[in-house]
C-alpha cells in the first residue's frame, strides 16, 4: 500500500513552521481520537497516520531525510512507522505529550496519576495603521481557544460517573515486558498510560475534557509600537490542566506603511519640495506632521538633500523618554517651464554671477585654465 505524503496528511505546506505542524496535528488528534469516535472504524487508522506524519515532520533530522529521499529514505535510516497504538503512545514521547495536553492529562503516566500541564500559548496577528502605531489604540481580539469543559469540569466523564480502572494494567498505567534478563516498562496500550478508562464520556466534550470556545478580549496597544513588535498577555492562552497555569497570548503587531511619512525607530522622515527662489532666499513654510502642521524655517542657500529637524514631532518612546524628531529632507524643484520674463531674469542672474551658460566648467581636479 502506497503511503500518503506526510505534508498532505497534516494539511501543511513543505515550508510549514514547527508551530504550524504542531497546530494541525493537534486538530487532527482531537478529530480522530478513538475515544471520540467509537463507531468510526476509520478514525483509529487516521489517528495513527497523523501521529506518524507528526513524528517525522517535527523532528529536524527525520524531516530532512524525508524531504530529500521520501518514505524509502526513512525506512533505510531505520524508521519503520507505527503498527498500532502501542507504538504511538509508548515510543513517541513528543506525540504522547501533545496527546496528554489535548486530553487534559499530566506529564507523568506512571501509576495512573496525572499531574498538571501548563496551557498552550496562542498567537494573534493585529494589523495597525501608521497612526495607530504612533499614538496607540485599543483593539478587540476575537478568536477560538480550548477551554475546560464546563459540563464535566474537565474530568471527561458524564456527571455522576467516574473512570474505571484499566483491566489491562490494573490501574498502574504501565505494562511490563521481559526481554531475557531485562524488564521493560511501557505505557499501557489500552489506557494510554492513564490507568483508567472512560466508560461514560461527557456528552458535551465527548470525553476529551476541553472544548473549542469563542473568546473576545480587549487589548490596549501602547503608543510607539513598531512593525514586528510582540505583546505578551499572560494567562490569556489555553487553560492549563490539573490546576496548572494557563498559557500566554502573544499579539504580533503588523503596521501598514504611510503614503507620506516613513519611520525609523522614534524618528519620522518625510520629503518636502521647495522652489528655487525659496531655497536661494530662505523662507518659512508649513510642514505636515503627525501632530499637526508645523512652521519650518528654510535657511538661505538650502540645497537638495539637506535635512532640517522638527523637534519632538516624531514617535513616542516606549520607555517613556519623550518623543523623537521629524526629519525633513529638502528637495529643490527645478522649474520645467519658464515664461519669457522668468527666463530673462534667470539669464540676468547668471550674468551677474559670472556663470555664463556656455562657459566650460573647470572641475577642482582639473589643472590649467581650460
What span, in angstroms and rounded, lies between the C-alpha atoms of 337 and 241? 76
The pLDDT of residue 359 is 53
Residue in 70, 90, 82 with CA at minimum distance from that of residue 8: 70
Question: Hey, what's the cell of 269?
Answer: 522622515
Residues of the chain with CATH 1.10.287.110: 1-102
Cell 506518524, located at residue: 52
The pLDDT of residue 81 is 59
The pLDDT of residue 177 is 76
CB 226 within 8 A of CB 255: yes
Q: 179: which strand partners? A: 182
Query: What share of residues in the chain are helix, strand, coil (percent, to 5)?
Result: 30, 25, 45
The pLDDT of residue 217 is 93
Q: Chunk the chain into consecutive blocks of 10 residues (it has 370) and report each block's average pLDDT, rounded to whole numbers.
A: 85 89 86 74 83 87 82 66 46 44 42 56 94 95 88 85 85 75 75 81 84 90 93 87 78 95 96 94 95 95 96 92 94 90 87 62 60
Question: Hey, what's the cell of 47?
Answer: 489517528
Give the count of beta carbons closer than 10 Å to the beta carbon of residue 172. Answer: 19
> What is the fold of 112-163+198-256?
HSP40/DNAj peptide-binding domain (2.60.260)
What span, in angstroms and rounded, lies between the C-alpha atoms of 92 and 315? 50
**1-102, superfamily in CATH?**
DnaJ domain (1.10.287.110)
Assign 215 to helix, strand or coil.
Answer: strand
The pLDDT of residue 351 is 84
Domain 262-352 classification at class level: mainly beta
Question: Hey, what's the cell of 17?
Answer: 513552521
What span, in angstroms and rounded, lies between the C-alpha atoms of 254 and 252? 7
Dihedral over alpha carbons 302, 306, 309, 315 (to 10 degrees)? 150
Residues of the chain with CATH 2.60.260.20: 112-163+198-256, 262-352
What span, in angstroms and rounded, lies between the C-alpha atoms of 65 and 131? 47
Amino acid at each position: 500500500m502506497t503511503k500518503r505524503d506526510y505534508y498532505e496528511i497534516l494539511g501543511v505546506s513543505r515550508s510549514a513552521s514547527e508551530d504550524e505542524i504542531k497546530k494541525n496535528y493537534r486538530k487532527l488528534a482531537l478529530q480522530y481520537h478513538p475515544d471520540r469516535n467509537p463507531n468510526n472504524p476509520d478514525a483509529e487508522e487516521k489517528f495513527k497516520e497523523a501521529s506518524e506524519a507528526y513524528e517525522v515532520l517535527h523532528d529536524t533530522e527525520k524531516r530532512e531525510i524525508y524531504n530529500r529521499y521520501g518514505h524509502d529514505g526513512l525506512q533505510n535510516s531505520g524508521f519503520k512507522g507505527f503498527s498500532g497504538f502501542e507504538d504511538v503512545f509508548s515510543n513517541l514521547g513528543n506525540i504522547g505529550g501533545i496527546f496528554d495536553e489535548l486530553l487534559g492529562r499530566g506529564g507523568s503516566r506512571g501509576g495512573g496519576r496525572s499531574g498538571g500541564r501548563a496551557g498552550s500559548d496562542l498567537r494573534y496577528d493585529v494589523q495597525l495603521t501608521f497612526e495607530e502605531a504612533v499614538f496607540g489604540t485599543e483593539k478587540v481580539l476575537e478568536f477560538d481557544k480550548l477551554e475546560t469543559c464546563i459540563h464535566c469540569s474537565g474530568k471527561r466523564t458524564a456527571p455522576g460517573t467516574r473512570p474505571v480502572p484499566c483491566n489491562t494494567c490494573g490501574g498502574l498505567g504501565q505494562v511490563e515486558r521481559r526481554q531475557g534478563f531485562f524488564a521493560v516498562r511501557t505505557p499501557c496500550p489500552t489506557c494510554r498510560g492513564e490507568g483508567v478508562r472512560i466508560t461514560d464520556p461527557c456528552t458535551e466534550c465527548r470525553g476529551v475534557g476541553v472544548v473549542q470556545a469563542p473568546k473576545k478580549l480587549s487589548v490596549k496597544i501602547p503608543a510607539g509600537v513598531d512593525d514586528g513588535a510582540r505583546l505578551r498577555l499572560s494567562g490569556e492562552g489555553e487553560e492549563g490542566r490539573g490546576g496548572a497555569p494557563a498559557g500566554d497570548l502573544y499579539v504580533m503587531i503588523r503596521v501598514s506603511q504611510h503614503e507620506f511619512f516613513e519611520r525609523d525607530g522614534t524618528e519620522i522622515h518625510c520629503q518636502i519640495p521647495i522652489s528655487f527662489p525659496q531655497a536661494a532666499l530662505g523662507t518659512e513654510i508649513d510642514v505636515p506632521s503627525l501632530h499637526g502642521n508645523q512652521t519650518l524655517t528654510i535657511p538661505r542657500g538650502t540645497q537638495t538633500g539637506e535635512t532640517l529637524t522638527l523637534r519632538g514631532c516624531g514617535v513616542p518612546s516606549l520607555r517613556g523618554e519623550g518623543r523623537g524628531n521629524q526629519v525633513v529632507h529638502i528637495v529643490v524643484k527645478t522649474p520645467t517651464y519658464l515664461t519669457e520674463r522668468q527666463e530673462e531674469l534667470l539669464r540676468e542672474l547668471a550674468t551677474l554671477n559670472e556663470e555664463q551658460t556656455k562657459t566650460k566648467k573647470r572641475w577642482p581636479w582639473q589643472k590649467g585654465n581650460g
